[in-house]
Amino acid sequence: MSHHRVAELLGDGISAELSASVHAIAEVLPFGLEFVPVDLSHENRERRGSGLYDEAAALALELGTALKYPTATTRESPNKVLREKLRFAVIHRPVCTIPGIQTNFKAKIDIDVVRIATGGTYDDPGRRIGLDTAVSLRVIERGPSRAAARFAFKLAQLRGTSVVSTSKYTIQRATDGLFEEAVQRVAEDYPAIPHRQELFDALLAGIIMKPERYNVIVCPNEYGDFLSDAACGLIGSVGLGDSANYSFGEDERVTTAMFDPAGGTAPDIAGKNVANPTAALLALANMIRHLGHPNECNALRAALLGAIADGECTADIRGKLSTTEFTAVVGARLSSALR
């Protein structure tokens, strides 16, 4: 039986409950998953300081794979710190309609948002100039743009779909223009993959009006953040999305990968056994695919989404089960499928 060691980056709020759910499902899998924990909770960050981030990053680099839970943004964003220390270049957030979840948006959506992990407006907090003016620096780099584009085209190649690159290239001519130039050059290496450019504001309207036209979408940092949260809202909840972060070597192969549920810490429900672990389990599924187990990934996704479709889920998506009850249902379905 194969065995994998994975860094487990624990956080705040519902983190402990999500971790318990992940561990319960991992016990059902036909291979070993050993979670090596690092406590990234607010209390431990205050106590340990920057050395804690160094420890977490070193472990993730050593093991090559990490699973992270929600952390509260206080003095700093732990996600941003880890992205910088681990030199993540690409963030991938898949978002698809989940049967059984009632939403205000009735069309089907199935997109992969591929986002540059650095730069944009997020790297510089800016500064005040006098009382009434503030400025910040927006940076777009060719290397991360190229990495995100290549990831997007490889993903589209696997899915048999198209790529849309999106930004405000007619306004931000220097920065977004550089991004689109980098994407176009990568597109030339994938002549069989349809590619088009769309302005970001037009794309937001397009996804709502004709979602079937959108598959893999690649964009700069902040645009991808806005888009993936908006898309999760269309499928029913930000808490239904998962995320993956990747760094690459000179040969363009993944060197470090970190998987996480995209939602927040939900302190109002922490410890009440009502948290929805769907996003954490989707992150687990994508992690085990990355580790070389695509069949088990598909089985877990089917067990999870099948339970939701049948109404066997938590109250936030119109079910009646607790976190542990929902996890047990998914585990039983997965065990049956694997047998």
Q: Which domains does the chain have, with CATH numbers?
A: 104-235 (3.40.718.10)
Percent of the chain with pLDDT over 90: 88
Task: Tell me the C-alpha to C-alpha distance, in Å, between residue 324 and each of 4, 45, 240, 273, 278.
Answer: 25, 28, 17, 7, 12
pLDDT reading at 85 higher than 90: yes
What's residue 121's pLDDT? 86
pLDDT in tens, 181-227: 999 999 999 999 999 999 999 999 999 999 999 999 999 999 999 99
What phi, psi does 108 have (nearest 5°)?
-90, 135
**Would you place residue 1 in the very low, low, confident or very high pLDDT band (cuts 50, 70, 90)?**
confident
Check if the beta carbon of residue 215 is closer than 8 Å to that of residue 162.
yes
SS3 assignment, position 249: coil
Structure tokens at 333: 């379905």
pLDDT of residue 16: 97
Mean pLDDT of 135-151: 94
Decide: pTM greater than 0.85: yes
Whether residue 47 is predicted with pLDDT greater than 90 in this model: the reply is: yes
Mean pLDDT of the chain: 95
Q: Are 316 and 239 in contact (CB under 8 A)?
A: yes
In three-state secondary structure terms, 292 is coil
**Residue 136: its pLDDT value, please?**
92
What is the reported pLDDT for 239? 78
For range 55-83, the mean pLDDT: 94
pLDDT of residue 74: 87
> What is the model's pLDDT at position 279?
95
What share of the chain in percent tops pLDDT 70? 100
> Looking at residue 80, what is its pLDDT?
87
**Alpha-carbon gap, residue 257 to 158, rounded angstroms:** 19
For residues 137 and 300, what is the distance between their CA atoms, to the nearest angstrom?
43
- The pLDDT tens digits for 254-308 are 999 999 998 889 999 999 999 999 999 999 999 999 999 999 999 999 999 999 9
Residue 234 has pLDDT above 90, yes or no: yes
Helix (H, G, I), strand (E, B) or coil at 102: coil
φ and ψ at 325, to 5 degrees?
A: -65, -45
Residues 6+ apart with CB under 8 A from 268: none
Please give the structure tokens belonging to residue 193: 């993959």
CA distance 277 to 313: 10
Query: Quick check: 30 pLDDT over 80?
Result: yes
Contact 72, 265 (CB under 8 A): yes
Q: At residue 135, does pLDDT exceed 80?
A: yes
Structure token pair of residue 179:
């991004």
